[in-house]
């Protein structure tokens, strides 16, 4: 597992400090409403839970304008609502590092500087925050899962290939892996400069041009041997009433979330 920094509350956290008798008892985390998310319906047949949160659930951005005291309880409420032992996330850096999560820990872990997660350990939830970038969901019928945060930089740097290679390292056949590209900015809304356009597509333009980032990622997945691919019809910019969008000027972030299943599942 790549080294990282754990948030307080995960395994190895310092002991709980004594609280004065007259101190206020912290409020319980807000309940998580599964009906307020965008599910990955294609994974239902695999018996796996995967979804993207929406504006209704509130922002999960820890470095935004919302008070941390408002955002952190949403994370705890998410883990409680999912009923999982482990929730893995990271401070994202628009790179291509993918963390491999083994067992031996409990709670909410937040690593410093990574954009992908893979695990084969049951009852482990993985989360990435997005606002226009693509949440890339990876799943195998045996229960192994992965989740990637793919912006244009991560896409160019090969985060799709690295995520799939991480699964393959655990003996997961890539032709059996299901990939879903979740809600993200669409090709009609995503305009980039000539240099970024060339780095993503290999083509040359003399002025800003539109790019379908999910189409680029789909081609990368196919080149890696993926046979099961689905794409959300949702655009974070077009559907800005439902999702946060950086291009629309939003500071909020939704989460892509996936929960690993039992390795005994056929």
Question: For the segment 17-34, what is each residue's pLDDT rounded down to a tens digit?
Answer: 333 334 444 555 566 777
Region 35-59 average pLDDT: 94
Supply the pLDDT for residue 5: 42
Report yes or no on whether pTM surpasses 0.85.
yes
What is the per-residue pLDDT across 195-205, written as a single tens digit (0 to 9) for each?
999 999 999 99
Mention the CATH class of domain 34-185+228-259: alpha beta
List of residues 6+ apart from 14 with CB closer than 8 A: 8
Q: Is residue 248 pLDDT above 70, yes or no?
A: yes
Q: How far apart are alpha carbons 41 and 35 in whole angstroms?
A: 13
Q: How far apart are alpha carbons 185 and 212 in whole angstroms?
A: 8
Q: How far apart are alpha carbons 80 and 87 in whole angstroms?
A: 10
Percent of the chain with pLDDT over 90: 81
Boundaries of every domain in the chain: 34-185+228-259
How sure is the predictor about 7, in pLDDT bands with cuts at 50, 70 and 90?
A: very low
Helix (H), strand (E), coil (C) string for the chain: CCCCCCCCCCCCCCCCCCCCCCCCCCCCCCCCCHHHCEECHHHHHHCCEEEECCHHHCCCCCCCCCCHHHHHHHHHHHHHHHCCCEEEEEECCCCCCEEEECCCCCEEEEEECCCEEEECCCCEEEEEEECCCEEEEEECCCCCEEEEEECHHHHHCCHHHHHHHHHHCCCCCHHHCEEEECCECCCCCCEECHHHHHHHHCCCCCCCEECCHHHHHHHHHHHCCCCEEEECCCECCCCCCCCCCCCCCCCCCEEEEEECCCCCCC
């Amino acid at each position: 597992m790549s080294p990282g920094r754990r948030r307080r509350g995960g395994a190895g956290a310092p002991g709980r400090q004594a609280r004065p008798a007259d101190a206020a008892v912290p409020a319980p985390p807000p309940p998580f409403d599964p009906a307020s998310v965008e599910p990955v319906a294609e994974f239902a047949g695999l018996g796996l839970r995967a979804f993207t949160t929406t504006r209704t659930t509130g922002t999960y951005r820890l470095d935004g304008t919302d008070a941390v005291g408002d955002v952190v309880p949403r994370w705890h409420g998410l883990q409680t609502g999912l009923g999982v032992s482990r929730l893995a996330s990271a401070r994202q850096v628009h790179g291509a590092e993918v963390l491999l999560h083994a067992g031996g820990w409990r709670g909410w872990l937040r690593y410093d500087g990574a954009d992908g997660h893979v695990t084969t350990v049951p009852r482990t939830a993985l989360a990435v925050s997005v606002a226009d970038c693509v949440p890339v969901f990876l799943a195998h019928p045996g229960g192994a899962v992965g989740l990637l945060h793919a912006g244009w930089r991560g896409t160019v740097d090969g985060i799709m290939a690295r995520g799939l290679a991480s699964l393959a390292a655990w003996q997961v056949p890539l032709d059996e892996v299901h990939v879903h590209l979740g809600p993200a900015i669409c090709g009609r809304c995503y305009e980039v400069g000539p240099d970024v356009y060339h780095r993503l597509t290999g083509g040359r333009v003399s002025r800003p041009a539109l790019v379908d980032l999910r189409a680029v990622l789909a081609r990368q997945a196919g080149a890696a041997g993926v046979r099961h691919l689905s794409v959300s019809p949702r655009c974070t910019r077009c559907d800005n009433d439902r999702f946060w969008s950086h291009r629309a000027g939003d500071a909020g972030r939704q989460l892509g979330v996936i929960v690993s299943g039992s390795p005994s599942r056929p």
